[in-house]
Chain A
Amino acid sequence: MIVVDDIHKHFGGFHAVDGASLSIKPGSITGLIGPNGAGKTTLFNVIAGVLKPTSGRVTMNGEDITGLPPHTLFHKGLLRTFQIAHEFSSMTCRENLMMVPGNQSGETLWNTWFGRKRIADEERALRAKADEVLEFLTVEHLADHKAGQISGGQKKLLELGRTMMVDAKIVFLDEVGAGVNRTLLNTIGDAILRLNQERNYTFVVIEHDMDFIGKICDPVICMAEGKVLAEGTLDEIKANEHVIEAYLGTGLKNKEQVGA
């Protein structure tokens, strides 16, 4: 579905992504792992249109989407979340969600003054949907809280909720578990699995928590130094010599041998 072909992204002399190629199968939850500085987030930014690649191509269902602006990709169903949760801090959680779908009729100046009824109908539908999403994520009590005031983990949930407001096809989650406690992480993991199974979302997940990756992701892709090192199930990745060398290190190898 998404094919990344030999992407290079250079910042001056620094090669953040150095010829990464991978493909993401529809309906999968692909894990993207790698040491810090492996170029995972940069690759995300290139795919999501935030950064233009130095060279290389990204295609979605055969269509070239390289370097399209984020809001265009958004309308094609490609969404991403951020490593550090972003939110519209001065709006409530419900309003945050209601902001998401683009091309609303209230966005033109004409309709603002002369299309009041249409806007009102649309807003009502959106409101219902936002409430449904909050309920799905089990945070309906936060609907009227300012998004700037909720906890970091709840912001991550809100980010996930944002993807549910539209008919997302593929969602890129950047370190969805960073700074989130176990219980909330499980909630997030469950939500991802349910979205994948019930609504056929495709996910790509950057994550450092191997338990979390092992629980929800198949396949797993490992990156290091801007290149793709290996692809397979988590166990295959863990057994891969290159990966152990570049990333997991001897510590984990020993741990495995001890059988912990």
Chain B
Amino acid sequence: MDLLNAFVALSNFVLIPAIAYGSQLALGALGVTLIYGILRFSNFAHGDTMAFGTMVTILFTWLFQSWGISLGPVPTALLALPFGILGCMALLLFTDRVVYKFYREQKAKPVILVIVSLGVMFIMNGLVRFIIGPDDQRFADGERFIVSVRTFKDMTGLEEGLAIKTTQGITVITAVIVVAALFWFLNRTRTGKSMRAYSDNEDLALLSGINPERVVMITWMIVAALATVAGVLYGLDKSFKPFTYFQLLLPIFASAIVGGLGSPLGAIAGGFTIAFSEVMVTYAWKKVAGYALPESLAPDGLAQLLSTDYKFAVSFVILLIVLLFRPTGLFAGKSV
């Protein structure tokens, strides 16, 4: 039995990746939940919005790299991020102007808007593939590790190594900053309060002199920022491939629904719930169990509950359980 090594292995393969992945999901789910709370529909185009924002960021990253600009150990993508956000904002505001505005004025039912967002999704999907291609793009540069396996082993003398990727560190730090800024914005500023008021009671908000178009515009801008940040962090951590972003839609929606649609706090809790479940269920526990259990009990097989190919099934099952037993989600958002 060697609990210390077991914990290091657990951190290396489960805790740290899950925290990073959870932060990315939480940021994505925040965007979904904001749209649901304020514009009142489930935005199926969110995954591809993330892909678009990330694509713009990648293009700017390449531009900066060709100019020889870099941030040293930190990925150049962070420098390109603001441009990605602006590009994404432009796209979303344009989409709103030419598509969603029409349906809003018709006072279309949410289910119609969901189908409309499905159409928008296909267009964005095509747009991204058209511009950058359907292939994998790696755009992370700079230092790869904050702590590498070798330095960790040298430092502690432990048998098991622990690696923290730069991208994982950046993901967590950025997520904390973005979430703090968002909550400050929603709770403390007049604009944020108008958004909450509009989400709480649309009729009354209109009769309180709140301009709905402005609330909608600011919502899209915030969503664009969240989506791009989430997309870029995910892309830095793994890699950028348009189809993967489309696939992310499921865990992101699962996070938003598990936490309670319309509840920002819920989206964060949901993101981490989904991420931890996904990573823990698909991780091969052989190594950790080998350290933690007496030798006679150590598993012969991989002790992996589910192949990583099925990782999306995990979000699906959690989604089902939540919808069956607590349809409003953990933080009692609006019922679906």
Contacts and interface: CB of A to CB of B under 8 A. Distances in A.
Interface residues of A, number: 33
A172 to B, nearest CB: 10
Contact of A112 (B189, B205, B208, B212): B189
Contacts of B218: 109
Interface stretch (B67-75, B92-100, B190-198, B272-280): B190-198
A179 to B, nearest CB: 18
A104 B210 CA distance: 10
Nearest to B212: A71
Interface in A71-125: 71, 74-75, 79-80, 82, 86-91, 95, 99-109, 112, 119, 123
B193 A79 contact: no
A103 B209 CA distance: 8
B247 interface: no
- Which of B189, B190, B205, B206 has most chain A Cβ within 10 Å? B190
A152 B207 CA distance: 19
B333 to A, nearest CB: 12
B190 A82 contact: no
A117 to B, nearest CB: 14
Contacts of A104: 190
Nearest to A79: B207
| Residue in B185, B207, B214 with the greatest tally of chain A CB atoms within 10 Å | B207
A33 B118 CA distance: 48
Contact of A99 (B185, B194, B203, B212): B194
A91 B196 contact: yes
A88 B197 contact: yes
B185 A162 contact: no
B189 A71 contact: no
Interface of A: 48, 50, 69-71, 74-75, 79-80, 82, 86-91, 95, 99-109, 112, 119, 123, 162, 166
14 contacts: A71-B209, A71-B212, A75-B209, A88-B200, A88-B201, A88-B205, A90-B196, A100-B208, A102-B209, A105-B190, A106-B189, A106-B190, A107-B211, A109-B218
